[in-house]
Amino acid sequence: MSIDKREKVIYTDRENCDCLKGRKETSEMGDLVGQIRKKAKKLNRCIVLPESNDGRVVRAANMITKQKIARVILLGNQEEISKKFPNTDLKGITIIDPKKVDIAPYAQLLFDLRKEKGMTQEMAQVLARDPMYFGTLMVKRGEADGMAGGACHSTGDMLRPGMQLIKAAPGISTVSSCFFMMLPKGSKFGEILVFGDCAVIPNPMPQQLADIAIASAESAKKLAGLTPKVALLSFSTKGSAKGSAVDKVTAALEIAKHAAPELCIDGELQADAALVSAIASLKAPQSIVAGKANVLIFPDLQSGNIAYKLVERLAGAKAIGPICQGFAKPLNDLSRGCSVEDIITVVAITAMQVVD
């Protein structure tokens, strides 16, 4: 799988569609970030932060611990961290140095998982001490609930260990991402839209696109409290255009319907038909999603990445993400331009993604 280096619905009968039951209006949701942090506090999860060489990460670890958002494991040498960041209180933070622990069980697990890909015992001994791999191995072994990293690593360096060791969740063959787009208060499109995939898979095939849709709907429901109404986007609405790009989207719809028959999903829909009820009534009058969509699934990474950045810059939206989805255990990528507050929020999201 290529990685961006930067940085069940159905069109079925209305009575059986979850999107029409108990709808929760976004105007009642309040501050999503505050809600996520509040919910994370109740969970008491343990999250690994592998980049103790970065001052933002260390300060965030301090604040997360003080606010009891999660229990933090910081990877690195305690003396070096204290010397480099003397004004940051490390009390309550568990600090583990991969260079000093008994690496044998971690290296053995790494070898067992990767030997068919050419991993040797010697290679595993070295690689297991790399903080990104060591943190991922801790999650794999159940010593931590999740990991958040990438403040000073590329997306590829952050997600590669997860794809190799944690792998995808049961029933999902694709690791992907979504963004929560926080629109200005009073927006006629609601205050939260979920965009996927905008960071991981360059050109998803139909199965991958279906996986992205199902995972993004679950993220919208679990993290934002939305009742997902999923639109598979295209330059065509219900056969208005033809071609392989349209066929990919319609094939993904059928796969998603079969895999998640309770999900409110439809496609192919143009963006205006997905969001604007007046246009939806003209272009897709039979659709229960058109004009009401709150989860937008883009046909490829190029369109998704462009769209979220345009909405962020032109509409004044705040983008929360990328939120990784589809892993068997939660791992999340931080932007290298992230702030301390961003790290705290991503850790809270990671805590909420844990499945008991």
Helix (H) or strand (E) holding 82: helix 78-84
Task: Give the pLDDT confidence of 108-162 residue by residue, as tens digits.
Answer: 999 999 999 999 999 999 999 999 999 999 999 999 999 999 999 988 899 999 9
Q: Is residue 278 classed as helix, strand or coil in its secondary structure?
A: helix
Q: Sign of dihedral through CA atoms 262, 266, 272, 276?
A: negative
User: Residue 289 pLDDT more than 50?
Assistant: yes
pLDDT (0 to 100) of residue 6: 36
pLDDT of residue 144: 98
Mean pLDDT, rounded, of the chain: 90
The pLDDT of residue 67 is 96
Q: Say whether pLDDT at 4 is over 70.
A: no
In angstroms, what CA-CA distances link 319 with 178, 193, 235?
10, 10, 24
Which domains does the chain possess?
1-30+168-328 (3.40.50.10750)
Q: What is the pLDDT of residue 23?
A: 36
How far apart, in whole angstroms, are the C-alpha atoms of residue 253 and residue 11? Answer: 9
Q: What value does the mean pLDDT take over residues 342-346?
A: 94
Closest listed residue to residue 126, CA positions, set 105, 158, 103: 103
Length of the chain: 356
Residue 302: band (very low, low, confident or very high) from pLDDT cuts 50, 70, 90: very high
End-to-end CA distance of the chain: give it in Å, rounded.
28
Best CA proximity match to 102, nearest among 134, 59, 77, 142: 134
pTM exceeds 0.75 for this model? yes
The mean per-residue pLDDT over the stretch 29-37 comes to 80
